[in-house]
Amino acid sequence: MSHRIVILGGGYAGVTAANRIARRLDGAEVTLVNERATFVERVRLHQVAAGESLASRPLRELVRPGVDVVVGRAGRIDLERRQVVLDGGAESEPAPLPYDTLVYALGSVAAPGPDDAVALATADDAWWARDRVAELVAEHGTVAVVGGGLTGIEAATELAERHPAVRVRLVSDVEPGPWLSHRAQGHLRRVFHGLGIEVAGGSVADVRDGSVRLTDGRVVGAGLTLACTGFAVPAVARDSGLAVDEVGRIRVDRTLRSVSHPDVYAVGDAAVPQLPNGRPFRMACATALPMSAAAGAAIADRLAGRRPTGLRFRYVNQCVSLGRRNGVIQAVAADDHPHRIVLTGAVAARYKETVVRGATWFTAHPGPNRPVPRTRV
């Protein structure tokens, strides 16, 4: 019987891993499981929330011939029997999916945020937000974006640029973009000013009745509050008994193999490599792509009796879109700290757009033996 490889999650990480494995392993049975039939360009969800229509790409068109796509929701992994239990509908209970090797790439969802706020982490979140934004455009209303990280900055600028009639307020307990250099932060402030984005510094106590209440008593009125307050991971790994870190990401070694279950690999937002230098990893596409390419190569190498090389990459920059016409590209050192080198303006916007397109292209064409990219997204 051929080796059965099941990949859970058809995002950047899962599709890259599936294609890499299918390219390297003739004769393996590769099955990709995803909760929807289409690939979601998650790094563009702030564009969707602002009202942009994005092309929907069927997963079957992104994966190599020979990769079987199963549309279903992974509910649990039976690590003893080596099978994935899929959630059934009201009446049906789908048959479990047996595997010899499992690749876990279920990504992330929104971290718990204030009640009554809409998150911006999944396609469903973005579609919900888009409909409410459309109403607010008609009403000349206000959107409050909570969070001064990458997602909050990209969402606020996208909304303000696309909808000048909507008032956009960014609520953050830190200076927006705290990881950026002074130069990049200065650019950010100028862009916010130019787009009319108001920044309210403070921590959110709660969101209710169309208002964001801050812990110091101030109230920021808003017809929609978008919570961009970080990501959490699905509980499937922890609930199934895999070794996970304090936030539920699967602990993996340098070859992306689970430290507790050697027939399980994990990649993307849902995995955390345990490297001797204790280096932190961003939950980012920039991490997911090299991880998945390395995992695919490691699986193929092990099955062929070769010693895998493992994950080798470094961040070179971080790209932030500030609407469609502006951006910040922050160069970073090997430890991910910002350099003084910063690219801004329209050139930065074009650069980021190229990188975002390149990320989707790479998932479909990760190459057989090409070195993993020095990723930039």
Ligand X SMILES: Cc1cc2nc3c(=O)[nH]c(=O)nc-3n(C[C@H](O)[C@H](O)[C@H](O)COP(=O)(O)OP(=O)(O)OC[C@H]3O[C@@H](n4cnc5c(N)ncnc54)[C@H](O)[C@@H]3O)c2cc1C
Shortest separation between residue 254's beta carbon and ligand X, angstroms: 18
Phi (first) and psi of residue 82, to 5 degrees = 55, 65
Which of 46, 163, 249, 261 is in the footprint of ligand X by CB under 6 A? Answer: 46
Shortest separation between residue 185's beta carbon and ligand X, angstroms: 17
Shortest separation between residue 23's beta carbon and ligand X, angstroms: 18
Burial of 312-342, coded b for 16+ CB within 10 Å and e otherwise, reads ebebbbbbbbbbbebbbbbbbeeebebeeeb
Residue 148 touching ligand X (CB under 6 A) = no
Size of the site for ligand X (CB under 6 A): 37
Residue 249 touching ligand X (CB under 6 A) = no
Which amino acid is present at 315? Y
CB 10 within 8 A of CB 59: yes
Q: 3-state SS of the chain: helix, strand, coil percent to 5?
A: 30, 30, 40
Which of 286, 328, 329, 343 is in the footprint of ligand X by CB under 6 A? Answer: 286
Q: Which stretch binds ligand X (CB under 6 A): 193-201, 208-216, 264-272, 296-304?
A: 264-272
The alpha carbon of residue 88 and the mean position of all alpha carbons in its chain are separated, in whole angstroms, by: 26
In the block, which residue shows the tokens 């020979």?
66
Which of 25, 45, 77, 136 is in the footprint of ligand X by CB under 6 A? Answer: 45
Single out the residue of 60, 85, 65, 66 nearest to residue 75, CA to CA. 85
Instruction: Name the residue nearer to ligand X (CB basis): 141 or 230.
Output: 230
Instruction: Name the residue nearer to ligand X (CB basis): 154 or 161.
Output: 154
Instruction: Name the residue nearer to ligand X (CB basis): 107 or 177.
Output: 107
Nearest residue to ligand X by CB is 11
Distance CA 55, CA 270 (A): 26
Neighbours of 355 (CB within 10 A): 19
Distance CA 29, CA 99 (A): 9
Instruction: Name the residue nearer to ligand X (CB basis): 45 or 214.
Output: 45
Tokens of 240: 């199934």
Which of 284, 299, 342, 349 is in the footprint of ligand X by CB under 6 A? Answer: 284
Stretch 4-33 residues interacting with ligand X (CB under 6 A): 9-14, 33
Torsion of CA 31, 120, 233, 276, to 10 degrees: 100
Shortest separation between residue 16's beta carbon and ligand X, angstroms: 8
Residue 105 touching ligand X (CB under 6 A) = yes
Which of 97, 207, 285, 293 is in the footprint of ligand X by CB under 6 A? Answer: 285
Stretch 312-351 residues interacting with ligand X (CB under 6 A): 319
Distance CA 284, CA 291 (A): 11
Site of interaction with ligand X (CB under 6 A): 9-14, 33-35, 40, 42-43, 45-46, 73-74, 105-108, 120-121, 150-151, 154, 234, 236, 268-270, 283-286, 288, 319, 377
